[in-house]
Structure 1
Amino acid sequence: MGFLTAVIMALGIAVFVLFRRTRKTASSTTVHSTIEGMRAVGDLSVFKVYTKEIVTELDHSWGDFGKKYLDWIYSSKKMAMIFEFEIEFRYDLRTRDFEIIETGPGAYILRMPPCFHEINIRNIEFYDEQRSRLLPWLLPDLLNSFLGAGFTEEDRNKLVSAASNHAKQRANAMIDKLSSEVEASAKQTLHAIGQSFGAQSLTFVFKPTGESRAHVSIGEQVRAAA
Structure 2
Amino acid sequence: MSSILLVLMLLLLIVVVVVVGFYILRRKPAAEISIHSSIQHIRSIGQLSVFKVITKEIVTETDHSWGSFGSKYLSWVLSKKKMAMIFEFEIDFRYDLRRPDFTIVEMRPETYLVTLPPCMYQAHIRDIRFYDEQKSRLLPWLLPDLLSGFLLDGFSEEHKNKLVSAAKSHAEEQARQLITSLESEVQASAKATLQSISKAFGVVTVEFQFLQEDRPDLTVAYDKALSA
TM (norm. structure 1) is 0.75
- Residue 187 of structure 1 corresponds to 191
8 Å contact from structure 2 (residues 57, 86) kept in 1: yes
Deviation at 1:169, TM superposition (A): 0.7
Q: Secondary structure at the match of 1:157?
A: helix
What's the CA shift string for 1:9-65, capped at 9, x where partnerless? xxxxxxxxxxxxxxxxxxxxxxxxxxxxxxx87111101111111112311111111
Match of 1:114 in 2: 118
Contact kept, 8 Å, 1:179 with 1:209, in 2: the verdict is no
d(CA) in 2 for partners of 1:88 and 1:118?
5
2:73 aligned with 1:80, yes or no?
A: no
Shift of 1:152: 4.0
CA positional deviation for 1:174? 1.5
Q: Which of 40, 46, 62 pairs up with 1:42? A: 46
What root-mean-square deviation, in Å, do the aligned CA atoms of Structure 1 and Structure 2 show? Answer: 2.0
SS of structure 2 residue aligned to 1:210: coil
1:97 corresponds to: 101
In the alignment, the residues of structure 1 paired with residue 45 and residue 198 of structure 2 have an alpha-carbon distance, to the nearest angstrom, of: 12
Give me the whole-angstrom Cα distance separating, in 2, the residues matched to 1:225 and 1:213.
24
Question: 206-215 or 113-122: which moved more?
Answer: 206-215
Q: Which residue of 1 aligns with 2:55?
A: 51
Residue range with higher mean Cα deviation, 125-134 or 153-162: 153-162
Contact residue 78 and residue 130 of structure 1 kept, 8 A: yes
Q: Distance in 1 between matches of 2:160 and 2:135?
A: 26
- Correspondence for 1:173: 177
SS of the aligned residue for 2:214 comes to: helix
1: CA distance between counterparts of 2:106 and 2:53?
33
Once the two structures are overlaid, the 10-residue window that deviates more, 179-188 or 150-159, is 150-159
Name the larger-Rg structure.
2
Q: Structure 1, residues 160-186: CA drift from partner, whole Å, max 9, x if none? A: 111111111111111111101110000
The CA deviation at 1:125 is 0.6
Distance in 1 of aligned mates of 2:132 and 2:45:
46
**Higher helix fraction: Structure 1 or Structure 2?**
1
> What is the match of residue 202 of structure 1?
206
Q: Which residue of 2 aligns with 1:123?
A: 127
CA distance in 2, matches of 1:158, 1:115: 29
The 1:189–1:211 alpha-carbon spacing in structure 2 relative to 1, beyond 3 Å, is: farther
Q: Post-superposition shift, 1:124?
A: 0.8
Contact 2:61 2:78 in 1 (8 A): no
* C-alpha distance in 1 between matches for 2:209 and 2:158: 45
Helix, strand or coil at the partner of 1:199:
coil
Quick one: distance in 2 between partners of 1:53 and 1:212? Answer: 23
Gaps of 5+ in 1: 1-39
SS in 2 for 1:47: strand
Q: CA deviation at 1:156?
A: 2.5
- Mapped contact 1:98–1:111 kept (Cα < 8 A): yes
- 2:105 and 2:151 map into 1 onto residues whose CA distance is 60
